[in-house]
Structure 1
Amino acid sequence: MRYDLDDLRLFALVATEGSITGGAKAMHLSLPSASARVRALEAQAGVPLLIRERRGVRLTPAGATLARHARDVLAETTRLDSAVASYAISGTEPVRLVAGGSAMHQLVPAALATFLRDHPEYDVNVKERRTVRSVKILAGGEADLGVILDDEPTLLRTEPLADDSLVVIGQAGGILAGRNSIAYAEVAEHPLVALDRVSPLTLWMEERLGPHAPVPRYRTLVPTLHTVISLATAGAGLAIVPRRAVDAITSIDICPLEDAWSIRAHLLCYATNAPQGTYLLAEHLRAAASVRA
């Protein structure tokens, strides 16, 4: 037997709505047309599929079996369409995004997840770069959109995006318990865990601390912010991280830094003549930034 996908879709809707009228409306068909399709499907199956009543229809055992398998077939067809479509070549140039390590931890992944889902016509090329480098790349037309820190001067168009202030974290009930704030000079007296020395966050901090800042003892330097947070949570040492990265974590103590350099923010930065996809991606970055970590 050969089944028409539209007939199967109609029958599945009739089963869900409990009436041919409801199925016809969902399929944007006239009632006579939908009724004729259902009758033809019954004739093809050779058994009654519906019990017609005054207020709708009920499925016969054969109809219930057909409806269940029809849903499976339609779902598999949707997956097939999606799988084949994934090989299609986008008709637009990829949106080129640059961002620092802090933004890459949660903000950029959250925005990309919704953008790529909602805009299959666009691809995105993403690079992790320090703010100073991102600004140069954007000014040179090598990227379309950037998530940068607010301490780098630029003549490009910028707009506020999200707070990216730094805080100190440590094991719950540890030396930060009950503290309202702490100075970096005191933090450096304790063992620390941190990102490796070539990470954007580490380089940014070293530039602002200067040569006369106390030299901390790092128990370990690791490549990802996620690992830093996990180690600090386990009590391996204190850590300095963006507040957004830990706001939702209840198993650690969080203490603001007293140092002025710890207050910073993310900006959206646009290249000149950025393509349309840039502004669509910017919308998703704003939405992601509006949700606290």
Structure 2
Amino acid sequence: MHFDLVDLRLFVAVAEARSITGGAATANLALASASARIQGLEAAVGVALLKRGRRGVTLTAAGESLLGHARVVLHDVEALRSDLAAYATGTKASIVLLANTVGLSEHLPKALAAFLREHPQVSLEAEERESADIAQAIAAGSADLGFAAEHTLPETLDRFIFSEDRLVLVTAQRNDLASRRSIDFRDVVDRDFIGLTNATALQNHIGKYAARLGARLRYRAQMRDFDAMCQMAAAHVGIAIVPEVAARRCARSMPITLVRIRDTWANRKLAICFRDLKVMSRPAQQLVEHLRAAARP
């Protein structure tokens, strides 16, 4: 069953005027055209909507029902038009940001909160992705900007370094690894690990490098966040690989030790990336400049 907005507006006008002639005038339609549209609407729904008389029209029970629904639909359409007009004029805007696991959990929240507080007309849609996927999405234009490992970004994307992200091994203070200052990843791939859930970008990143060594990490537990991972490591459940910024925060309240991972993939520069600042919306440009000012390269 198809409803035309012009027909719905006309029907509401006719119902309120109690006259097809009066409704046609309100809807700026010729009487013959308005009459044909009402008849077509009745044919589409398969029931009479109006009782026609010498003094005008009255609504049938079906007509009363349609009138209520039509008013709701037309109100929502006007609200939609007004909302989109606000986006078009810059008085309201939505920004799509893609970020890797550590970006969303550790590096970006404070800066993003400050920006949204200063720009109440802007809404933000943040989605977690792997760094390589973020680069592809930004290049394809499916997001405004991204937060990703700098080495995964193609030369075609503009970027600036926001922060460094060193991944470290976390272990209980009485674990045999706790006395080591640094370690190669290959020396621990056969240990029991504490990880994040399978869907996280960081977990996939670590898993790829284990696979290159011909190993598949054995997880005793997979937790929702870095704090829970460190708590498990402190309880001797297994070892964990987490961003240094999160590990140092947890070490202030947990009996854990941080061990540096010597592999180059464990030391990453994290960058804000985008296609072309000049063609981005003004709010997106403002967010880029805000993050540039908050960067800690």
Normalising by structure 1, what TM-score? Answer: 0.62
Q: Amino acid of the residue matched to residue 114 of structure 1?
A: A
- Percent sequence identity is 27
User: Within 5 A, what are the aligned runs for 1:28-43?
Assistant: none
What is the CA–CA distance in structure 1 between the aligned matches of 2:203 and 2:146, rounded to whole Å? Answer: 20
Q: Is the 8 A contact 2:196 2:224 kept in 1?
A: yes
In the alignment, which residue of structure 2 is the partner of 1:29?
none
Match of 2:117, SS state, is helix
State the secondary structure of the residue aligned to 1:164. strand
Partner of 1:270: 274
Superposed, 1:220-231 pairs within 5 Å as 220-231=221-232
CA–CA distance in 1 between the matches of 2:130 and 2:195? 17
Give the distance between the partners of 1:221 and 1:266, measured in 2 at CA: 25
Displacement of 1:162: 0.8
Letter in 2 for 1:147: F
Q: Where does residue 98 of structure 1 map in the other structure? A: 98
Task: Quote how far apart the aligned CAs of 1:130 are.
Answer: 1.2
Q: Counterpart of 2:286 in 1: which secondary structure? A: helix
- The alignment status of 1:163 with 2:145, answered yes or no, reads no
Contact 1:110 1:288 in 2 (8 A): no
1:288 Cα shift? 5.2
Query: Equivalent residue for 1:138?
Result: 138
Question: Cα–Cα, structure 1 residues 122 and 215, in superposed 2: closer, same or farther, change >3 Å?
Answer: closer
Does residue 244 of the first structure (1) align with residue 248 of the second (2)? no
1:184 corresponds to which residue?
Answer: 185
Aligned residue for 1:199?
A: 200
Q: Deviations over 1:189-224 (max 9, x none)?
A: 432111233321121122233344344432112333
The correspondence for 2:260, drawn from 241, 256, 260, is 256
Say which is worse superposed, 193-202 or 159-168, in terms of deviation: 193-202
Cα shift at 1:257: 0.4
Counterpart of 1:101, as a letter, is T
Q: Write the distance in 2 (CA, Å) between the matches of 1:156 and 1:180.
A: 37
Counterparts of 2:113 and 2:235, CA distance in 1: 30
Secondary structure in structure 1 of the residue aligned to 2:151: coil
Query: Alpha carbons of 1:289 and 1:189: their partners in 2 closer, same or farther (altered >3 Å)?
Result: farther
TM-score, normalised to structure 2's length?
0.62
Higher strand share: 2
Q: What SS does the aligned partner of 1:185 have?
A: helix
Structure with greater helix share of residues: 2
Structure 1 regions of 5+ residues with no counterpart?
1-88
Q: Distance in 1 between matches of 2:194 and 2:160?
A: 33
Q: Contact 1:107–1:285 (CA<8 Å) still a contact in 2?
A: no
- Superposed CA deviations along residues 63-83 of structure 1, whole A, max 9, x for unmatched, are xxxxxxxxxxxxxxxxxxxxx
Question: CA distance change for structure 1 residues 279 and 174 in 2, over 3 Å: closer, same or farther?
Answer: farther
Matching residue's letter, 1:278: A
Task: Rate the CA distance shift 1:196–1:263 in 2: closer, same or farther, 3 A.
Answer: same
Task: Deviation per CA, 1:101-141: give whole Å up to 9, x if none.
Answer: 11111222212211111221221111111112211221222
How big is the shift at 1:95? Answer: 1.6
Indicate if the aligned counterparts of 2:160 and 2:292 stay in contact, CA closer than 8 A: no
- Give runs of ≥4 in structure 1 deviating > 4 Å: 286-289
